[in-house]
A and B are shown apart, each in its own frame.
Chain A
Amino acid sequence: MTAARPAAARWLALGRSGAGAVLLHPLRSVVTVACVVAVLLPWLAGLAIAHGLRDQARDAVRFGPDLLVEGERLGRPAPVPLEAVATIRALPGVTDVVPRVVGEIRLGRDDVSAVLLGVPLDRLPAGTTLVRGRLPAPGASHELVVGAALARRLALDVGAKLPPFYRNDAGERVSTVVGVFASDLPVWSGHLVLTSIETASTVFAQRGLASSLGVTVPRAAREDVRRAIARLPALGPDDGHGPVRARVLSREDAGALLPAQVLQREGVFTLHWLLAFAVGLPLVLVTSGAGLAERRRETALLKAVGWGTDDVLLRALAESLLLAVGAAALAVLLAAAWLGPLRAAGLGAVYLPGVEPDAVVDVPWRLAPVPVLLATGIAVVLVTVGSLLSTWRAASTPPAEVLR
C-alpha cells in the first residue's frame, strides 16, 4: 500500500505535467490535432454514410414486399405480363400483389437522370409526403409527382409542363407536374418521379406489362408461395417469343444483396482512407517534431534535474493521449456537424453517385461506436508513435550536449 501510493502519486504528477505540456507547446498541439482530424474526419463521415445507407437499405427491405417477382425469358430479364397479378393473387396464402413499372428517364437540358416509378395510385410508397400539389388523378394520363430535390434541380413546380422525354411507337406526350413530394424518403428516391402505372407503361412502351410484382404473404406461407410462383409454367399468355418464367426474390435475398453493395462501397472508402493514413502517419511524425529544438532542450532540462527516461516518456504519453483523444473527439463532432447541419456538403455527392453537390436530400448517416472507437485508437497510435519516438531520442541524448 505504501509503495502503491507513491507510485500512483508519481503517475498522477507525471500525467498532470503531460497535460500541462499540451498548453506548453500550443503550435505543436494545434498542428498535431489538425493533422489527425484531417485524416480521421473524411473516413468517419464516409463510414457514417455507409452505415446510414445500410440502415436505410435494411429498412427498405424490411418494409418492402415479402416476395419480389421479376420476369425471365430464355435466361434473360423480361417484363412481367399483368395477367400474372391475378394468377399469383389466386395462390393460397397470398395477401396482395402490387405491380410496378420502373425505369430510368432523362429530363431537362442537362439530361438529368431520374427514376420513373409507376404503381397503382392507391399503392404509392409509404412515406410519400406531398409538400405541394396533389397525387395523379385516377384515369388522368401523364401526371407526375416529382421529388423535392429533382424539382429544385430542374426548377419545376406544380403546373409545370415537361416536353416529351421519351420516344415510342405510340407517340409522345407532354407531361404535367401535379405535385412535389418531400425528400425524406431514402436517399436513392431523391430523383424519383412517381406516376400511375398506366402512364409509366406508356412511357416505357410496356402496355400490359410490369417491371416487377411485389407480393405480400404471411411468413408461414412464404416458402410455399415462393415455390408455387417459381413452378408456374408462365406468368402470362405466350406472345410467340417464348414463355416468361418467374424469378422470385425473397425479403431475405434482398436483405443479403443490398447491404453487400453498401459494404462494397464502405470497403472502397476504407481503402481510400488507408491511403490517407499512409500519408497521415509521416505527416504526424513530422508535426510531432514541431518545435523540436525547444522540446529537446526541455527534455534535457528534465533529465538534468533528475527525471528518468521513463518519467519523460510517461509525461509524453500523457500529453499524446490527451491530444489523440481530443483530436478524435473533435473529428467525431466535426463529422456529426458535416453530416447533420451541413448535410454532407461536398461528401454526399462523392459517396452517392447521382446526388448533386447542392442536392437537398438528407444523406442518411449513423456514427457507429466501432468506427468511433477505432478512430480514437488510430489517433492514439498516430500521435504516440510520433511523439514517443522524438521524445525517446531527445531523452537518450546526454543532457549537457543539448543544454550546452
Chain B
Amino acid sequence: MTDAPALETVGLGKRWRSARGDVDAVVDVTLTVPRGAFVVVTGPSGGGKTTLLSLLVALERPTSGRVRVDGADLAAASEAERSRVRRRVGFAFQGAPQVRRLPVWENVTLALVPTGVGAAARRARALEVLGRVGLAALVDERPERLSGGELQRVALARALVTAPPVLVADEPTSNLDRASAAAVLGVLREEHARGTTVLVATHDLALLALATATYAMEAGRLRATGASPDGAAR
C-alpha cells in the first residue's frame, strides 16, 4: 500500500460530442479522496456525476486532466493497466446492468472468473455478499425476475465481491423502498468502518449523514459543500 490518496483528479475534463454540438460533462475537476474517506457527491440529474464516476473507475478516458487511483495514473495507463485498476475498485452501476441469462450468483461473481476462482468458491462468496445486501434467497434467480430495487442491490453485491479497497456507487439507493435503502446504507457504513474508501453519487440526503466530505456537482463543475477533513475540491 502506498501513501497516495485512494482517488485523485487534477483538472479533469470530459467532453461529449453529439449532434447538438459538444457537451462538457465534466469541467476542470480537481478532487482528492484520501484512504478511508466517505465522499458523497450530490447534484441535479445531468450534472455530470455519473461521467465523473466513470472517469474515476477507468470506464472512460478523460478529454483533459489526470486521474490517479491508488497512485496509478489512468491517463497514461494501457488498457491492461486500466483493467487491473477496475479490479481494485468496486463500482455499483446506476441501472445495475446484468447478463440476462446468468443466475444472480454468477452475475455477482463475474469479476472473480479471470482470477481462476472455481465455481463452488464463487457461489459461496456470492451467498456471502448477497446476504449482506439481504438477497441471499435470490442467489440462483435470473436477473430478469428481479425488481429494480433488487437489481440495484445485486449491483452493490457485485461491487463488493472482490473486497475492493475503494467502493464507488452511483445512486445506490435509487429505486429502493425505505427498508432496502436502509440495508444498503448499513452495508456502506460497514464497508467504511472496515476502512474501505467510499465514494457515492446520490440524490439521497440520508447518505450525507455518513459522509466525511460532501460535494455538489452541477453543469460538470464540482464544489465542496461539507466537511472535508483530508480532501478538498477546488
**Which residues of A come within 8 Å of B, CB atoms?**
6-10, 12-14, 16-17, 20, 23-24, 294, 297-298, 300-311, 398-401, 403
Q: Knowing A13-B113, A302-B110, A303-B86 touch, does A308 contact B93 (C-beta < 8 A)?
A: no
Is B102 an interface residue, CB under 8 A from the partner?
yes
Residues of B within 8 A of A13 (CB): 113-118
Q: Knowing A10-B116, A16-B119 touch, does A298 contact B99 (C-beta < 8 A)?
A: yes
> Taking CB as reference atom, which chain B residue is nearest A294?
B100
> A309 and B79: CB pair below 8 A?
yes
CB distance from B46 to the nearest CB of A (A): 13
A399 to B162, CA, bound (A): 19
CB distance from A87 to the nearest CB of B (A): 83
CB distance from B18 to the nearest CB of A (A): 12
> A303 and B97: CB pair below 8 A?
no
> Taking CB as reference atom, which chain B residue is nearest A298?
B99
- Of the candidates B86, B97, B111, B119, the one whose C-beta lies within 8 Å of that of A297 is B97
Closest 8 CB pairs of A and B: A9-B116, A306-B87, A400-B59, A308-B83, A305-B111, A400-B54, A10-B116, A311-B114
Is B101 an interface residue, CB under 8 A from the partner?
yes
Is B223 an interface residue, CB under 8 A from the partner?
no
Residues of A within 8 A of B114 (CB): 10, 13-14, 306-308, 311
**Which residues of B come within 8 Å of A, CB atoms?**
51, 54, 57, 59-61, 79-80, 83-84, 86-87, 91, 93, 95, 97-102, 110-111, 113-119, 158, 162
> B111 and A306: CB pair below 8 A?
yes
CB distance from A402 to the nearest CB of B (A): 9
> Taking CB as reference atom, which chain B residue is nearest A311?
B114
> Taking CB as reference atom, which chain A residue is nearest B99?
A298
Residues of B within 8 A of A304 (CB): 57, 59, 86, 91, 93
Residues of A within 8 A of B158 (CB): 305
CB distance from A146 to the nearest CB of B (A): 61
A6 to B101, CA, bound (A): 27
> A308 and B79: CB pair below 8 A?
yes
A14 to B118, CA, bound (A): 10
Q: Knowing A305-B86, A306-B87, A399-B59 touch, does A14 contact B113 (C-beta < 8 A)?
A: yes
> A24 and B101: CB pair below 8 A?
yes
A172 to B117, CA, bound (A): 88
Residues of A within 8 A of B117 (CB): 9, 13
CB distance from B195 to the nearest CB of A (A): 21
CB distance from A209 to the nearest CB of B (A): 77
Q: A305-B91, A307-B114 are in contact. List 20 more A-B contacts (CB 8 A).
A: A8-B116, A14-B113, A17-B113, A23-B101, A297-B97, A301-B98, A301-B110, A303-B83, A303-B86, A304-B57, A304-B86, A305-B110, A305-B158, A306-B87, A308-B80, A310-B80, A398-B59, A398-B60, A401-B60, A403-B93
> A309 and B113: CB pair below 8 A?
no
A309 to B111, CA, bound (A): 13
> Taking CB as reference atom, which chain B residue is nearest A6?
B116
- Of the candidates A10, A17, A303, A401, the one whose C-beta lies within 8 Å of that of B115 is A10
> Taking CB as reference atom, which chain B residue is nearest A399?
B59
> B116 and A400: CB pair below 8 A?
no
- Of the candidates B79, B99, B162, the one whose C-beta lies within 8 Å of that of A301 is B99
Greatest chain A CB density within 10 A among B61, B95, B99, B162 is at B99
> Taking CB as reference atom, which chain B residue is nearest A301?
B97
Residues of B within 8 A of A298 (CB): 99
> Taking CB as reference atom, which chain A residue is nearest B115?
A10
> A306 and B99: CB pair below 8 A?
no
CB distance from B42 to the nearest CB of A (A): 21
